[in-house]
Structure 1
Amino acid sequence: MADDSAGFAENRWGPQRQSTRFLLLYALAVAGGAIAYVPLLTILLPVHVEGLAGTASVGWLATLAFTGAIASSLSNIAFGWLSDRSGTRRPWIWAGLVLSSTLLLAMSAPRDLATLVALVMAWQVALNMMLGPLGAWAGDAVPDRQKGTLGGLLAFAPALGALSGTLVTIPGLALPEERLALVAGMVMACVLPVLLLGRPAPFPELMEPAPRPASGSARQMLVARMWLARLLVQVAEAALFAYLYLWLRSIAPGTTDAATARIFGVVLLVSVPVALMVGRWADRRDRPIQPLGVAAAVAALALGVMAAAPGLEVALAGYALFGLGASVFLALHTAQTLRVLPRPKSRGRDLGLFNLTNTVPSLIMPGLTLAMVPVFGFSGLFALLAVLASVACLLLLTAKAALQRDN
């Protein structure tokens, strides 16, 4: 499905590595996907809902989050599968880019909850028409020996997503309805280059099923371990994303939302070079799973520090460490998932099933928080999350041997 073949180095045995140009353009496109939803879901949509619903805005946002998560999950699987069946990814990415950008521009129009829910669900479907095939395209085009480098480059996505939210909300830059147009323009600027200029080298071996020994129970167990480990880390990440501000305020009541946003942004930016270095190390040493286990261990340690933090300084240090470990984990995990999925002909569908780990935590986390915080406080919640991250670490460090046996 890597259907273009210009601009790559090869020898008489065929191409050895995917071109750096394609890797960079692809990472930019994935960052465009993050820009498409991060500013809207974290800033622009809540502001719009608050203006419409007032005191009922919490209920509106909960409804939008729940229905949007369902639409996102199902459509990501569906369009990944459709791109598998069609044998091509680009047309789906093109269509999703155009439709999602068009719907984004209309997001400020609804004035009632039902219309807004319908529009957000339609936008989620269109967005995942782009994101599902885009994610699978890397599996078609990037050989295993570059998966770590790809994962490092993917760390730019959440950082640029957060930065875009900061940019569009600069006071005086744009009116509220114009902010949506700015977001759509940034998404187009990020995704169009890979569609227009990306010419990935073909790697026919990436479209061949995994060898028979790797298609048995050991490979299936590895896939299951990686799915569960990501889910556990994502639950912790989702909890921190949602409740970071309230937790910091419980420790230091003078903490502002602007200060919290700056902390979040700095952690994401620092994680980018770290993820790049770790990813390249994993490629050179051919140890794709070990860095994931270590990153999960760092996240678990950081959560333990946060649970026991006596003051703001230690709390911030713990959060910075957690943000670094979780960001590196999630970026590298995304790329290495493409390495272990056993059936290239259903790569898009299977990747959509993996991506349930991105949406299911949003359904788990509110109940978990309500059960823990009123009784044990945030310290009890973070202690439980530390246990979950530790389980993820053990799942991955013991899975490494299984992958080596399969290879």
Structure 2
Amino acid sequence: MADGLTALQRQSPRFLLLYALAVAGGAIAYVPLLTILLPVMVEAAAGPQGVTWLAYVAFAGAVAASLGNIAFGWLSDRTGTRRPWIVAGLAGSTALLLVVDRVVGNLPLLLVTLVVWQVFLNMMLGPLSAWAGDLVPDHQKGVLGGLLAFAPALGALSGTLVTFPGVAAPDERLGMVAFLVVAAVLPVLLLGRPRPFPHLMVNPPEGEAGPLAGPHRIVARMWLARLLVQVAESALFAYLYMWLRSIAPETPDSVAAQVFGVVLLSSVPVTLLVGRWADRTGQAILPLGLAAVICCAALLGMSQATSLEQAMAGYAVFGLAAAVFLALHSAQTLRVLPRPQSRGRDLGLFNLTNTVPSLIMPGLTLAMVPVFGFAGLFLVLALLAGLASLLLLVFRNPK
């Protein structure tokens, strides 16, 4: 349990808050660009070919992000330092953001630019993820997970901000995104001043690792459980609007955006409360398993929805549970990685659970929806979430 610990046994609140802001900066770097700004620019430049262009860009970007995250996590392990990689990645990815709108009319050049941008972005994100494992003790992982819930919320909010009428002209939006990213990431590098915890960089003695550290079967279960939930979350993120329109054709596009925004904002206090409870009780994995159960139940409910109100209520429950799951999982993953000396590389492999779903989800959707409708797709996704809960709820949680 975390009660009774002195201040020197905890990482400083300042570092935790600034670190969470930096992770949010990573989300700000890619969410507005990939979900709003790039599609708008490509549609204007390519017209009917825009969908094809975006498909090529999304695939190449996912591959570059996956390989870059693993590579730079590994390099930060080998060099024994994270900061220089974070700084270099921040500088390179920010500079390339300012180039995207200048090459958007040339598909080959756009592909190259975005691939290199993904490489630099993951030069920042890979070591940044591992840095938390170096500096945040296990008894604060739940609170860390709660703070990480700010990242997707701020990423979505930044997209709304830069596209809000009167805030920035179209040719100024990427510059505004770049400014927001730098403003979010730099403070932890300049002002974080984290307390060192040398024991987090040393392998625990054989037999003293505890039930959540070391065994590769636990690492594999954590990886697979996140992949299963991420596939469901990615499918809902991509097709929420189309599903709502299939139930209520008059549904305006603003409804999906509003529901998505409310879910993300609501997830922040809920994740903080659940993460704090996990720290106080020592139940690191139980909240993840229960969140996956709620995702499964919500998807089953969504498969039977016949009205817009039922659909939105089901998605709100699913979205909230999935957001809590993903934020807490990111923090608790740091508990189960077997070797501190390969933490960056291993987190890069875990990052595949964020990128692989974007490759799985289109094929799954095309196989299910034309034949069985969205109800059939949601039943399959419910099965995936149910399997994730089983993988997690068999853990013995340390006290």
What range describes the TM-score normalised by the shorter chain of this pair? Answer: over 0.9
Q: TM-score scaled by structure 2?
A: 0.96
More divergent stretch after superposition (115-124 vs 167-176): 167-176
CA contact (8 A) 2:203 2:339 kept: yes
Long gaps (5+) in structure 1 = 1-9
Deviation digits for residues 215-248 of structure 1 (CA, Å, limit 9, x no counterpart): 9997111100000000000000000010001000
Q: 2:97 aligns with which of 95, 101, 104?
A: 104
CA-CA distance at 1:310 after TM superposition: 1.5
| 1:47 paired residue number | 40
Query: What is the CA–CA distance in structure 2 between the aligned matches of 1:247 and 1:259, rounded to whole Å?
Result: 12
| 1:383 paired residue number | 379
CA-CA distance at 1:178 after TM superposition: 0.4
| 2:250 paired residue number | 254
CA contact (8 A) 2:142 2:331 kept: yes
CA contact (8 A) 1:151 1:333 kept: yes
Query: What is the CA–CA distance in structure 2 between the aligned matches of 1:151 and 1:60, rounded to whole Å?
Result: 36
Query: What is the CA–CA distance in structure 2 between the aligned matches of 1:177 and 1:151, rounded to whole Å?
Result: 36
Does residue 1:117 correspond to 2:115, yes or no? no
Q: How many residues align?
A: 392
CA contact (8 A) 2:214 2:339 kept: no
CA-CA distance at 1:52 after TM superposition: 1.1
| 1:225 paired residue number | 221
CA contact (8 A) 2:138 2:335 kept: yes
CA-CA distance at 1:15 after TM superposition: 2.4
| 1:195 paired residue number | 189
Q: Secondary structure of the residue that 1:172 maps to in structure 2?
A: coil
CA contact (8 A) 1:15 1:203 kept: no
| 1:74 paired residue number | 67
Query: What is the CA–CA distance in structure 2 between the aligned matches of 1:260 and 1:182, rounded to whole Å?
Result: 25
Does residue 1:37 correspond to 2:30, yes or no? yes
Deviation digits for residues 139-192 of structure 1 (CA, Å, limit 9, x no counterpart): 000000000000000000000000000000011221212000000011011001
Does residue 1:126 correspond to 2:120, yes or no? yes
For 1:195, the aligned partner's letter is L
CA contact (8 A) 1:296 1:389 kept: yes
Q: 1:90 aligns with which of 61, 80, 83?
A: 83
Q: 2:267 aligns with which of 252, 271, 282?
A: 271
Query: What is the CA–CA distance in structure 2 between the aligned matches of 1:376 and 1:211, rounded to whole Å?
Result: 53
Q: Secondary structure of the residue that 1:199 maps to in structure 2?
A: coil
| 2:335 paired residue number | 339
Query: What is the CA–CA distance in structure 2 between the aligned matches of 1:175 and 1:218, rounded to whole Å?
Result: 51
More divergent stretch after superposition (297-306 vs 251-260): 251-260
RMSD over equivalenced CA pairs, Å: 1.5
Q: 2:142 aligns with which of 140, 143, 148?
A: 148
For 1:378, the aligned partner's letter is F
For 2:150, the aligned partner's letter is F
Query: What is the CA–CA distance in structure 1 between the aligned matches of 2:210 and 2:13, rounded to whole Å?
Result: 31
| 1:3 paired residue number | none
CA-CA distance at 1:257 after TM superposition: 1.7
| 2:178 paired residue number | 184
CA contact (8 A) 2:26 2:181 kept: yes
CA contact (8 A) 2:93 2:120 kept: yes
Does residue 1:301 correspond to 2:294, yes or no? no
| 1:360 paired residue number | 356
Query: What is the CA–CA distance in structure 1 between the aligned matches of 2:301 and 2:163, rounded to whole Å?
Result: 33
Does residue 1:166 correspond to 2:160, yes or no? yes
Long gaps (5+) in structure 2 = none
For 1:389, the aligned partner's letter is A
Percent identity between matched residues is: 70
Query: What is the CA–CA distance in structure 1 between the aligned matches of 2:318 and 2:74, rounded to whole Å?
Result: 34
| 2:325 paired residue number | 329
Q: Secondary structure of the residue that 1:288 maps to in structure 2?
A: coil
Query: What is the CA–CA distance in structure 2 between the aligned matches of 1:268 and 1:179, rounded to whole Å?
Result: 23
For 1:55, the aligned partner's letter is P
Query: What is the CA–CA distance in structure 1 between the aligned matches of 2:52 and 2:204, rounded to whole Å?
Result: 47
More divergent stretch after superposition (251-260 vs 183-192): 251-260
| 1:241 paired residue number | 237
Deviation digits for residues 45-87 of structure 1 (CA, Å, limit 9, x no counterpart): 0001101111111111110000000000000000000111111
Q: Secondary structure of the residue that 1:108 maps to in structure 2?
A: helix
